Amino acid sequence: MGLLRGMARTAVVAGTASAVSGRVQRRQANKFAEKDAATAAKQQEAYDAQMAQQQPAYQEPAYQPPPPPAAGGISNEAIEQLKELAALKEQGILTEQEFGVQKAKILGG
């Protein structure tokens, strides 16, 4: 009987220890989960505050009217295009007729 009693006592002690250990683990897990949730909430608040302070990455550029036409009614851009066309004609890339067509387009006529 002594052997049986010793085994029963060991089983009770082991069972109790196992139950206590499980409860301790659950409490610690809950405690750490709460701590992690609080930390995550703080980090999210800090991130949101930082994002609210930053300006948007892209801003629409302010409207700038085109430059006024140069004396004689031709814009600087048109003059540059005509110079490029003349250079292409001199190099033999454009014919006289092609040059005339492009020139008329640039001058709007």
Selection from 84, 109, 79, 104 nearest residue 94 by Cα:
84
The model's confidence at residue 109, banded by pLDDT at 50, 70 and 90, is low
Helices (H), the chain: 2-53, 76-90, 96-107
pTM over 0.85: no
Structure tokens at 99: 């040059």
Reported as a single tens digit per residue, the pLDDT across 39-97 is 888 888 888 888 778 766 667 778 877 666 555 667 888 889 989 989 999 999 889 99
Q: Do residues 74 and 107 lie in contact, with contact meaning Cβ atoms separated by under 8 Å?
A: yes
Selection from 87, 86, 90 nearest residue 100 by Cα:
86
Half-sphere exposure of 24 (CA within 13 A, CB side): 6
